[in-house]
Amino acid sequence: MNLTKNEVYSLLKEWCDYMLDHTVKGIEDPNLKGAMLCPACGFVHGRFADSILAYTLLYTETGDEKYLKAADEAVDWSENNVLTPEGTWYNDINATWYGTGLFSAMALGETLHNFKGKIPEDIYNKWYKIFVRMAEGCKVFVHYDWYKPVINYYCGAAAFFAFCYRFLGDEKYKAEANYWEEIISHQFDSDGLLFGESHPIDDISKKGCYGIDLGYNLEESLQLLIQYALYIEDEVKLKFYCDKALAHLEFIMPDGAIDNSFGSRHNKWTYWGSRTSDGVQEAFPRVAKYDRRFAKTAALNFDLLRRCTVNGAFYGGLMQHDANQPACIHHSFAHTKALALMYLYMDEKDFENLENVTLPRETAYGIKTFQNGYLKLISVGDIRATISAIDHIVQTDDRSNMGGNLNFLWHKKYGAICAATMHNFFLVEPTNFQNLRNAEKTLCMTPRIVCGDYKSDADKTVEISSSGDNKKSTVSVAGNNELNFKIDYTFEGDEVKIAIASEKDALYSLPIIAESKAEIKASSPNEITFRNMLTVSSNAEIKTEDGLKRYFNQVGGFEYLPLEIPLKANETTEISLIVK
């Protein structure tokens, strides 16, 4: 397995050309000129100027003025439409959030740093003045009393001011960077996972669980912390944050996906990462010489990004295009920065023969436990699974996906089989999410027990235990509530067995991932086969709500066929999922 700079460049150019096709042209109104229209959301996402680094890179590589024009107009649009009183940029026209100005300013700074002498002097000087003003503006607002963000912004502040120190040479920015980094350095749990994607950042639940989000941690926060150490030129800090990043690779799937099925902000999860963050390609290539697992992670995930791209549009998951849902352009411009930095900094030698590099979840290790024992990762044979009884919630139960449910199930041959979603989907950040354009409704796709108003995916009280090895492992879940249920998940070979007992009649909802064109056969009322390889069977009748109709969910980005299996009081219902 190899990855070349030409491959990175090719995908980056494909995305940028698509973005150019969706840029307003022929209008001189400064409120519209150069704006990037989103075909999914029908409006302008205010952070599209983050694409400046990618556009300028393409200009320097091709000499084509259209890319430089797009970059310059993106900056001008931002100056005219999202400028804050402090001199940085808001997240959106109708938003009052300043925090993302750190990331936009860093994109502008990286552009100046990498392309001085390669772009016209008048444009460089204009952008330089804006950058210096933004640096001072960011320094002001991050100390406002109301500025109490989640942890990725602390990481952004540390990295941005470290960059300012390196680029501008002013010691005050180094002091500012170190101030934020000192806070962050204490935000790692005993497993090395960064916590703080919560309010407050040190929030801890009754079960001893933190606000940990693998999408933001892997795609943004750790990328920023590595950059902080590189800009400060501190080898001790660099090793510290590289070691923490390696601990997070436990959640990289063998196909390059980021398992964020349990994350505190998994409402933004899509199979390749998180909708509004940067990407694992941003800093991992720069430290691949220290450990080639960084290179393999970046390469595998890059291949997934490529698989999610159709005709230049970068979709929010493997099945969004199949579901006839347009791609949100925010995915593209947010991740172009990471691809541009990968192209600029990667050493192709680090990306050769990656088949000789092994990531943790590529091995069958049995069970690993995180989050004070309430998060289980299972790796048996070709099966990978995640079961979460974490009780940490950010803001509202509607975002929850807990209860000891099968949050994620994957097989080497089939791919993703189950993937949890929000309890009740809603637009947590309306300008950063997309409504479904071609769907009747958004269903909860977390495997769960349902009984009247009770749904196990919102149950904080469930207890969990596990036993076994890499040949056979069992995770047991106990719900000491009105149902007094017990679930045993047993993993062996290519099969998952689920045994459920409840003191009341209930329903087990088991949504199975299958794109609309996938072949599905029901050989009996108790057995159904997907793609001629995955068979789901039960000692109870398996029902579907609307025949074989699939439902798409933008969390994860999958299509599902929801299966419903009745549970009879005080009887054990057995379910088998086996891949052949």
pLDDT at 179 over 70: yes
Residue that is written with structure tokens 């400046």 in the block: 52
pTM value is 0.96
Mean pLDDT of 411-428: 91
- Give residue-wise pLDDT tens across range 451-492: 999 999 999 999 999 999 999 999 999 998 889 999 999 999
Contact residues for 188 (Cβ-Cβ < 8 A; gap 6+): 194, 195, 244
pLDDT at 394: 72
pLDDT at 304 over 80: yes
Return the ∠ at Cα 79 (arms to 74 and 85), rounded to 5°: 150
- Percentage with pLDDT > 90 across the chain: 92
pLDDT at 284 over 70: yes
Give CA separation, 135 vs 72, 452, 514, in Å. 19, 54, 47
pLDDT at 306 over 80: yes
Query: Is the Cβ–Cβ distance between 472 and 479 less than 8 Å?
Result: no
pLDDT at 431: 79
Mean pLDDT of 138-149: 93
Give phi and psi for 3, each to the nearest 5.
Answer: -135, 130
Between 24-33, 132-141, 392-401, the lowest mean confidence (pLDDT) is in 392-401
pLDDT bracket for residue 439 (50, 70, 90): confident
pLDDT bracket for residue 531 (50, 70, 90): very high
pLDDT at 238: 98
Mean pLDDT of 344-358: 98
In terms of DSSP bridges, do strands 543-544 and 558-567 run parallel, antiparallel, or are they unpaired?
antiparallel
pLDDT at 429: 81
Nearest to 335 by CA among 218, 492, 494: 218
What is the token pair recorded at 121? 């002097």
CA–CA dist 244, 223 (Å, integer): 11
pLDDT at 440: 75
Mean pLDDT of 101-106: 97
Contact residues for 79 (Cβ-Cβ < 8 A; gap 6+): 130
pLDDT bracket for residue 117 (50, 70, 90): very high
CA–CA dist 400, 266 (Å, integer): 9
Return the ∠ at Cα 218 (arms to 216 and 224), rounded to 5°: 85
Mean pLDDT of 71-88: 97
Contact residues for 193 (Cβ-Cβ < 8 A; gap 6+): 210, 212, 217, 244, 247, 248, 370
Read off the amino acid at residue 136: E
Q: Rounded to an integer, what is the distance from CA 205 to the centroid of its chain?
A: 23
pLDDT at 452: 94
- Give residue-wise pLDDT tens across range 537-556: 999 999 998 899 999 999 99
Mean pLDDT of 287-309: 98
- Give residue-wise pLDDT tens across range 220-268: 999 999 999 999 999 999 999 999 999 999 999 999 999 999 999 989 9
pLDDT at 441: 82
Query: Is the Cβ–Cβ distance between 389 and 374 less than 8 Å?
Result: yes
pLDDT bracket for residue 159 (50, 70, 90): very high
Give CA separation, 49 vs 55, 276, 287, 369, in Å. 10, 13, 27, 41
The mean pLDDT of the chain is: 96
CA–CA dist 306, 312 (Å, integer): 10
Using DSSP's 3-state secondary structure scheme, residue 26 falls into: coil
pLDDT at 133: 98
CA–CA dist 451, 568 (Å, integer): 11
What is the token pair recorded at 256? 């390059």
- Give residue-wise pLDDT tens across range 2-39: 999 999 999 999 999 999 999 999 999 999 999 999 99
pLDDT at 398 over 70: no
Using DSSP's 3-state secondary structure scheme, residue 501 falls into: strand
Could you tell me what percentage of the chain is helix, strand and coil, using 3-state DSSP and rounding each to the nearest 5? 35, 20, 40
Q: What is the 3-state secondary structure (H, E, C) of 155-198?
A: HHHHHHHHHHHHHHCCHHHHHHHHHHHHHHCCCECCCCCECCCC
Task: Specify the DSSP element, H or E, that contains 524.
Answer: strand 520-524
pLDDT at 396: 61
pLDDT bracket for residue 427 (50, 70, 90): confident
Which 8-state DSSP code applies to residue 251?
Answer: G
Using DSSP's 3-state secondary structure scheme, residue 313 falls into: strand
Query: Is the Cβ–Cβ distance between 535 and 514 less than 8 Å?
Result: no
pLDDT at 44: 96
pLDDT at 395: 62
CA–CA dist 76, 34 (Å, integer): 8
Residue that is written with structure tokens 């991992």 in the block: 284
Task: Specify the DSSP element, H or E, that contains 341.
Answer: helix 329-345
